């Protein structure tokens, strides 16, 4: 005999709508992250945040003393490996140390770069080669070396740090922007190649970020005033605004996002 249910009981039996993933601080705990160029600026802030969230973070830099000091300050989950990324073998050895720690890598952030101001007319082939060797070639060498361990991981996300500078065509950054635009092209095609294997690859393009180094060496009071004028948001950005976007793209929250280049610049460049 067919039973009729009271309307309130019918309501209770309806399948619950599953909660979509939201970034939970616990998501990064126990994971293994690799960050290139983590001893200063944006990379350092990201390493620090991931460590605070309970991840083990392997980071490299070419200067040993500074990297070791950062690792000491951040505690046992921060693992510094001295590696000049221009040296392919050193770059691969850095990745192997991270992969050997738990047998897997969950996240890779290709962050290291140099941003010399060089006018096109004065630039030499050596300048060009140096920029590509630090800013572009390691995306290939480090990511390829990390791939087997990334495929064994659960995070399965790569973020490449680009810049809005190339989108705006700023000068004198022709060589720098060639390297950064190359990184975005690399990101898109790699996302297509690795998507079927469950690896997401995205880029983060920061605007001008007032790291200690930028404030000390580059951003004059006039530059800062002009930047504020050009931005929709009337405050100068720091690492604090960039790290959350990178974490978002690494997280399960961004599980459907790959091959994208996301801008964090206070609304100066609008796509």
Ligand X SMILES: NC(=O)c1ccc[n+]([C@@H]2O[C@H](COP(=O)([O-])OP(=O)(O)OC[C@H]3O[C@@H](n4cnc5c(N)ncnc54)[C@H](OP(=O)(O)O)[C@@H]3O)[C@@H](O)[C@H]2O)c1
In the complex with ligand X, the residue whose CB is nearer, 84 or 127, is 84
Measured CA to CA, the distance from residue 100 to residue 236 in angstroms comes to: 40
Site for ligand X in 193-252 (CB under 6 A): 206, 208-209, 211, 213-214
Quick check: 69 and 145 in contact, CB under 8 A?
A: no
In the list 84, 93, 132, 241, the residue contacting ligand X (rule: CB under 6 A) is 84
**Comparison of 27 and 95: residue with beta carbon closer to ligand X:** 95
The residue (of 20 and 221) whose beta carbon lies closer to ligand X is: 221
Catalytic residue among 176, 200, 245, 250: 176
Q: Are strands 78-82 and 56-61 parallel, antiparallel or unpaired?
A: parallel
Q: Which two tokens stand for residue 27?
A: 């998501």
Which pair of tokens denotes residue 38? 């983590």
Question: Is 176 among the catalytic positions?
Answer: yes
3-state DSSP assignment of residue 200: strand
Q: How far is CA 87 from CA 130, 150, 191, in A?
A: 11, 22, 25
The rounded distance, in Å, linking the Cα atoms of 244 and 238 is 11
3-state DSSP assignment of residue 34 = strand
Stretch of 19-27, 80-88, 116-124, 145-153 contacting ligand X, by CB under 6 A: 80-88
Q: Is 153 in the site for ligand X (CB under 6 A)?
A: no
Buried b (16+ CB within 10 A) or exposed e, 19-28: eeeebeeebb
Bridge-based pairing of strands 261-264 and 157-161 is: unpaired
92 binds ligand X (CB under 6 A): no
Contacts (CB under 6 A) with ligand X, residues 23-62? 37-43, 60-62
Residue corresponding to tokens 């100066």 = 268
- Min dist CB 145 to ligand X, Å, is 14
Q: Is 177 in the site for ligand X (CB under 6 A)?
A: no
- Compute the least distance from the CB of residue 100 to ligand X, in Å: 20
87 beta partners:
none
Q: Which residue's CB is nearer to ligand X, number 113 or number 254? A: 113
List the interface residues with ligand X, window 110-129 (CB under 6 A): 111-115
Q: Is the CB of 66 or the CB of 102 nearer to ligand X?
A: 66
Burial code (b: 16+ CB inside 10 Å, e: under 16) for 63-88 equals eeeebeebbeebeebbbbbbbbbbee
- Does position 262 interact with ligand X (CB under 6 A)? The reply is no
Q: What are the catalytic residues? A: 176
Residues that bind ligand X (CB under 6 A): 37-43, 60-63, 66, 83-86, 111-115, 134, 161, 163, 206, 208-209, 211, 213-214
């Amino acid at each position: 005999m067919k039973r009729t249910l009271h309307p309130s009981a019918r309501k209770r039996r309806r399948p619950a709508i599953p909660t979509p993933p939201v970034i939970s601080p616990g998501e990064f705990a126990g994971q293994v992250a690799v960050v290139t160029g983590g001893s200063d600026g944006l990379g350092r802030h990201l390493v620090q945040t991931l460590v605070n969230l309970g991840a083990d973070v392997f980071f490299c830099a070419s200067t040993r003393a500074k990297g070791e000091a950062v690792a000491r300050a951040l505690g046992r989950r921060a693992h510094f490996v001295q590696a000049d990324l221009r040296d392919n073998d050193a770059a691969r050895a850095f990745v192997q140390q991270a992969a050997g720690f738990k047998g897997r890598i969950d996240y890779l952030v290709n962050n290291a770069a140099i941003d010399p101001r060089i006018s096109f007319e004065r630039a030499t082939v050596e300048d060009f080669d140096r920029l590509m060797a630090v800013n572009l070639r390691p995306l290939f060498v480090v990511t390829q070396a990390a791939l087997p361990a990334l495929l064994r991981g659960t995070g399965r996300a790569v973020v490449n740090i680009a810049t809005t500078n190339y989108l705006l065509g700023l000068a004198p950054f022709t060589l720098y922007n060639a390297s950064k635009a190359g990184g975005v092209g690399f990101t898109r095609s790699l996302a297509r190649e690795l998507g079927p294997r469950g690896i997401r690859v995205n880029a983060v393009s920061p605007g001008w970020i007032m790291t200690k180094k930028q404030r000390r060496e580059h951003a004059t009071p006039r530059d800062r005033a002009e930047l504020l004028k050009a931005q929709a948001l009337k405050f100068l950005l720091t690492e604090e605004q960039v790290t959350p976007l990178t974490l978002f793209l690494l997280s399960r929250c961004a599980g459907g996002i790959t091959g994208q280049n996301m801008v964090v610049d206070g609304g100066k460049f609008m796509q």
